[in-house]
Every structure is written in C-alpha cells, then in structure tokens.
C-alpha cells in the first residue's frame, strides 16, 4: 500500500500543477482533463492508502492485525474497480495487499479456533 501511494505521488508531476496553484480548480476554469487528473492523482486516495499502509506496518510490528473489515472492504472495493476498469488497470496491483490482509485474518481466525492453519510438510 505504501508503494502504491508513493507511485501515485511520483506521477503527480503533471502539466496541471501551475494552473491548480494559480486557482483554476477554485474558480471553475479548469478543463475536464485537468479536473480528471486532479482526482486521479493528488485529490485521489494516495494519502489515505499511504496512511493505511503505515498503520498496517505499525500494527504488524506490534504483533497485532487490522480489524477484519479492513481487508474485506478493500478486497470488495478493489474487486469492483477491477470489474469496472478491467484487469489492465492499476487496481489489479492493489489486490495484493487486500488479499494479504484477508489471508492474515483468515489464518488468525483459524489459529484462534483451534483449526489447523496449514498442513506442514514432513521433514
């Protein structure tokens, strides 16, 4: 998630920054392309995804996990976006952290219920 957010921030070096800073978004003179670029990049979810990634790292370092609904909600949202945009969209990359969060939740639930987490190979 941190990597996805950083990639979004890196790609905000578009041609619209001078116009945004001059106020075209506030005064309504921005082109449709400029507005779309704003919502796809700095106005999008990059900051929220970065914070979620940092929170995930922090909770993992403390030996805890995020609430169940975080991974499942991410998986549903990202799956829906992939459905709408197709597998060639950038949302496909976001499936990785979502699936990992869901897998961690399923594994923790199995461990707490006493069910075997996985079959261990014989040595």
Helices (H), the chain: 2-10, 17-22, 24-27, 32-40, 46-61, 68-85, 91-113
State the pLDDT confidence band at 115, using cuts at 50, 70 and 90: low
State the pLDDT confidence band at 101, using cuts at 50, 70 and 90: very high
List the domain boundaries for the chain: 1-62, 65-113
Cα dihedral 121, 63, 53, 73 sign: positive
Q: What is the mean pLDDT of residues 75-85?
A: 92
- Tell me how crowded residue 89 is: count the other CB atoms within 10 A of its CB: 14
pTM equals 0.73
CA 123, chain centre distance (Å) = 38
| pLDDT 10s digits, 23-75 | 999 999 999 999 988 888 778 888 889 999 999 999 999 988 899 999 999 99
Q: What is the mean pLDDT of residues 105-110?
A: 90
Does pLDDT of 120 surpass 60?
no
For position 19, what pLDDT does the model report? 92
Does pLDDT of 119 surpass 70?
no
For position 123, what pLDDT does the model report? 57
Tokens 């979810």 locate to: 45
For position 72, what pLDDT does the model report? 95
Rounded distance, CA 29 to CA 7, Å? 28
Structural contact between residues 93 and 116, judged by C-beta atoms closer than 8 angstroms: no
């Amino acid at each position: 998630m941190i990597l996805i957010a950083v990639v979004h921030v890196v790609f905000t070096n578009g041609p619209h920054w001078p116009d945004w800073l001059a106020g075209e978004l506030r005064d309504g003179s921005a082109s449709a392309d400029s507005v779309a670029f704003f919502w796809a990049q700095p106005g999008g979810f990059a900051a929220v995804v970065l914070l979620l990634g940092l929170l995930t790292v922090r909770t993992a370092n403390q030996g805890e996990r995020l609430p169940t609904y975080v991974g499942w909600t991410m998986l549903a949202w990202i799956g829906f976006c992939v459905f709408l945009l197709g597998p060639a969209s950038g949302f496909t990359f976001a499936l990785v952290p979502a699936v990992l969060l869901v897998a961690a939740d399923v594994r923790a639930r199995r461990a707490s219920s006493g069910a075997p987490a996985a079959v261990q190979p014989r040595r």
